[in-house]
Amino acid sequence: MESRRWMVRIGAAVLLLAAVILAVAVPGVGTWIVAAVVAGVASTLGGLVTRSADKALALGRDAVLASAPAAPLAVRAYLARGTLGHIAPVPSGLTELRGSPGWVALGSHAVVSLIVEATVDRAVILTKLEVRVESRAAPPFIDDISLPPPAAPMARRELRTFQVNLSDPTPVLRPNDGVSDFPYTVSHLDPERFLLQVNAGGPGDVVWSVNVHWLCNGRTGVVIADNEGQPFRLVTSERRDL
């Protein structure tokens, strides 16, 4: 496209040069008029083609972006149970306290529930769940504050339970006894439920999330499962196991 644009510009320049030569070589008002017309045609041609090329490029770019399909999955993740504590400073108001982003899971274990369903009218294959550790640090100071109990987990018979140890260099989710490993298949009428039992593996402050890998209609992709837009966080004290 760029080379074609340069060819048009060169052609317009040649026409403009021809108009100038014509005006100089052949005297007369009529010749100047002809030269002016040729020059105008050259200028208009160059401008029209350039604008057309720019418009075509913009339309092509918009078409590509518009045709990029969204992920065919909806994933909901939440802490199913566990002890919560707040990273200081603690908000003074009850409303601010309940909605504070400073809440973290405390203890050596955490349990995360995942609900995965398809958003398209065809089956979607879940190829794997992948735990992605974003950071590891020493445990910070925690204020232990009681909150209303979290939502009760779903019936265990409806769940696919997996174990993971965050202290491993590359944490891997492993199915419990009697639970099938991946792949799984979901649809908009048949969602899947997973229960992730997370082990800290020792004292520390671990920030992590879960990648849900999918395959559908020849396409592949990843949906991030996290805590309402923020990664999960598990803090394990050195002094005691909460």
pLDDT computed for residue 131 by the predictor: 96
The two three-digit tokens of residue 142, written as one number: 């925690």
* pTM (whole model) above 0.85: no
- Which residues lie below 8 Å from residue 191, measured CB to CB, with a gap of 6+? 115, 116, 117, 118
pLDDT computed for residue 144 by the predictor: 57
AA letter at 175? P
Render each residue's pLDDT in the chain as its tens digit; 242 residues: 555 555 545 554 544 445 445 444 545 444 444 444 344 444 444 454 445 545 554 555 454 334 446 899 999 998 876 677 787 677 888 888 877 877 888 888 999 999 999 999 999 999 999 999 999 999 887 765 555 444 444 444 457 999 999 999 999 999 999 999 999 999 989 999 999 999 999 999 999 999 999 999 999 999 999 988 889 999 998 754 44
- Which residues lie below 8 Å from residue 24, measured CB to CB, with a gap of 6+? none
pLDDT computed for residue 51 by the predictor: 52
CA angle (105, 73, 172) in 5-degree steps? 45
User: 57 in helix, strand or coil?
Assistant: helix
- Which residues lie below 8 Å from residue 235, measured CB to CB, with a gap of 6+? 85, 104, 105, 106, 139, 140, 142, 204, 205, 206
pLDDT computed for residue 104 by the predictor: 82
Cα–Cα distance for residue pair 125/218, rounded to 1 Å: 10
R_g of the chain computed on alpha carbons: 32
CB 230 within 8 A of CB 135: no
pLDDT computed for residue 229 by the predictor: 87
